[in-house]
Amino acid sequence: MRITGRFVRAALAAITVLPTLISALSDVDKNTLSRQYASTVTKKNIIRFFGGSSTHLEVLFLDATDGLNANNLTWQWPDKSPGSDFQAFTRGVAFAGNNDDILLQGGEGSTTIMENLVVFNNNNWRQAPAIDKPAAAAFMTANLNPLDNSAYYFGGRLLNNHQLNVTATSLNTFRKFDIIKGRWLIIEPATNGIERPGRTAHTSNLINNQVFIMGGVSGFKNASRAGPSADFASVLVYDISTNTAVSVTTLGDIPPARNSYSTALGLDGHSIVIYGGILVGGKDEDKAAPSDVYVLDTCSLTWSKQSTKGSAPGSLNSHNAININNYMVLALGKTNDKDYNFNIAILDMAQWKWVSTFTETEDTIQSGSCKFELPSINATTFSPMNYDDGVMINPLTPVKKKVDSKGFGIGFGILAVVLIAVGAYFYVKRVRNKKSRTLNPRWMRSAPAHTNSGYSNDRDYPLFVYNKELDADNINNPNVPRTQTAFATNDVRTYTASDHEQWEQELNSDAANSNGVASSRNSDIWNRMRGLNDASVISDEEVQRNRTNNGRLVDL
């Protein structure tokens, strides 16, 4: 920490730095701070932001040596032009290099030198030695793997004269850059043989020698198919140790599809935390994502919605998420489609609470203790998505339980989900209308079941308890046997706990509406009910079909 302090003072002495109090931002400051899709690197508690503006190259930084205070924020940047070889850019990448070097690649709008690779060190810029450099691109992702000192790249779009080549499709290539040797390599991972779509504006996180790529817009070589946004029902996993890359379906409480969200790492060393973005592909297309936090456990590719305390920052998109100590810090980006964000938000991930300040900066992310086992590339269990034909079924997917047939078995799962969802809708509506807090949506009778069905004997089970990891019939499930702890509070998450807590909090804030349009709370239930089972069980189209013109669910 001392060293960091000296480092900053040295930097301050070397060049002019403009300290800026958030409350007193001039228009010039605001122009400099207006960034979206910037890249960030944290070294020695200095958080730096690169790119994200087509007019300002200044490398913004926040000094978190003594923590950060959202109410007394000092944005700083060196007031020194590095010369015409270096130009403002957007949608590039940046990652930590050797020693105090930070390596970065300009995306759109930069220069040929920056498109290759440049070093930023102590506020000086220089060209990086880079052997076998690939064609210039933007929108790609890069993650440094400390285990082999290489940055792993995926996807992006080719550039032509520093702008996007609009006729080229998204790249589907994996590459790596060895930061010690300064050499590029194209990686050709083993795959299941189905064309891997390219991706643009996706996210990637490297955990325990595996890269998890999700979201973004996919692109097939077949140009007539380019374009669909990828949702969170699958993740492309590249396993570095086995050099294998396959897309796999996710389980659990899958977040609504979105773009321009940001990711940080969870404290357990094996999860990815997402926040913000703009919804895509549903009836809420183009609306800001709600202030929800979702967590992906990368060991099983299972999503859960994390309830949080404190006051969430509201809508944010194209922002950055930074890990420091127990905290996820959100900065820059936009608060809606036109206003830039000059504040920071801080989520304490140990307590899952939004806070305004912290002082501790030691790194607390545990080293990962588990790892996702990819399905065999020879397996034939596919679950194609419109954005990726090669998605394979997650080996941890529960085996469907057999239900007594008598013409009732197969349809029961779907029917139950529909009936429970409809029941939940009217139930919550009734609770809302009565303004009553005595009823508990956690516990309710299920749909009337056939007397011979496997579900008929005990219908008072919790509505949303559904834990795919606990499926004891699945021979691939590493967690079996664990029936004893099936409903223990420790370690096991059910829909009930977090959702109920959130409903409680939101019960009075979400006013009843008279026009028959589902409230955001009810839409949320719908969205998550759809996530309960395979994403395909109730498609968006099916939901739309079940709505009347004014958006109300039809009375079944």
Ligand X SMILES: *[C@@H]1O[C@H](CO)[C@@H](O)[C@H](O)[C@H]1NC(C)=O
- Positions touching ligand X (CB under 6 A) are 72, 74, 158, 160, 165, 167-168, 222, 224-225, 376-378
In the complex, the smallest distance separating the C-beta of residue 22 from ligand X, rounded to whole angstroms, is 10
Is residue 228 reached through a cis peptide bond, with omega within 30 degrees of 0 on the bond before it?
A: no
In the complex, the smallest distance separating the C-beta of residue 179 from ligand X, rounded to whole angstroms, is 28
Query: For residue 124, what is the enclosing H or E element?
Result: strand 124-127
Inter-CA distances, 273 with 261, 265, 343, Å: 10, 6, 20
In the complex, the smallest distance separating the C-beta of residue 195 from ligand X, rounded to whole angstroms, is 9
The two three-digit tokens of residue 519, written as one number: 């409230």
In the complex, the smallest distance separating the C-beta of residue 377 from ligand X, rounded to whole angstroms, is 5
Q: C-alpha 209: how far from its chain's center? A: 18
Q: Which of 533, 503, 517 is nearest to 283 (CA)?
A: 517
Inter-CA distances, 87 with 6, 126, 308, 397, 432, Å: 29, 13, 40, 48, 55
256 phi and psi, to 5 degrees? -60, 145
Complex with ligand X: residue 25 or 507, whichever CB lies closer: 25
Query: For residue 219, what is the enclosing H or E element?
Result: strand 217-219
420 phi and psi, to 5 degrees? -65, -40
Complex with ligand X: residue 112 or 508, whichever CB lies closer: 112
In the complex, the smallest distance separating the C-beta of residue 274 from ligand X, rounded to whole angstroms, is 30
Complex with ligand X: residue 160 or 485, whichever CB lies closer: 160
CA terminus-to-terminus distance, the chain: 63
Complex with ligand X: residue 213 or 374, whichever CB lies closer: 374
Give the pairing type, strands 244-249 and 234-239: antiparallel
Complex with ligand X: residue 370 or 377, whichever CB lies closer: 377
In the complex, the smallest distance separating the C-beta of residue 376 from ligand X, rounded to whole angstroms, is 5
Is 520:506 a contact under the CB 8 Å cutoff?
no
- Distance CA(449)–CA(412), nearest Å, equals 9
- Distance CA(499)–CA(305), nearest Å, equals 8
In the complex, the smallest distance separating the C-beta of residue 369 from ligand X, rounded to whole angstroms, is 25
- Distance CA(273)–CA(541), nearest Å, equals 29
Q: Which residues contact 79 (CB under 8 A, 6 or more apart)?
A: 15, 16, 17, 18, 58
Complex with ligand X: residue 68 or 288, whichever CB lies closer: 68
Complex with ligand X: residue 189 or 462, whichever CB lies closer: 189
- Distance CA(270)–CA(207), nearest Å, equals 7
In the complex, the smallest distance separating the C-beta of residue 246 from ligand X, rounded to whole angstroms, is 11
Complex with ligand X: residue 225 or 429, whichever CB lies closer: 225
In the complex, the smallest distance separating the C-beta of residue 350 from ligand X, rounded to whole angstroms, is 24
Complex with ligand X: residue 127 or 356, whichever CB lies closer: 356
Complex with ligand X: residue 33 or 518, whichever CB lies closer: 33
Complex with ligand X: residue 158 or 470, whichever CB lies closer: 158
Complex with ligand X: residue 26 or 380, whichever CB lies closer: 380
9 phi and psi, to 5 degrees? -60, -40
Inter-CA distances, 251 with 7, 394, 458, 541, Å: 45, 8, 26, 21
- Distance CA(30)–CA(520), nearest Å, equals 33
Q: Is 132 left (phi over 0), alpha (psi -120 to 50) or beta?
A: left
Is 349:358 a contact under the CB 8 Å cutoff?
no
Which residue's C-beta sits nearest to ligand X? 168
In the complex, the smallest distance separating the C-beta of residue 509 from ligand X, rounded to whole angstroms, is 31
In the complex, the smallest distance separating the C-beta of residue 108 from ligand X, rounded to whole angstroms, is 14
Complex with ligand X: residue 222 or 548, whichever CB lies closer: 222
Inter-CA distances, 514 with 150, 339, 429, 519, 552, Å: 57, 31, 11, 10, 11
Q: Which of 481, 415, 492, 494 is nearest to 453 (CA)?
A: 415
Complex with ligand X: residue 225 or 547, whichever CB lies closer: 225
- Distance CA(313)–CA(521), nearest Å, equals 18
In the complex, the smallest distance separating the C-beta of residue 194 from ligand X, rounded to whole angstroms, is 12
In the complex, the smallest distance separating the C-beta of residue 63 from ligand X, rounded to whole angstroms, is 8
In the complex, the smallest distance separating the C-beta of residue 448 from ligand X, rounded to whole angstroms, is 42
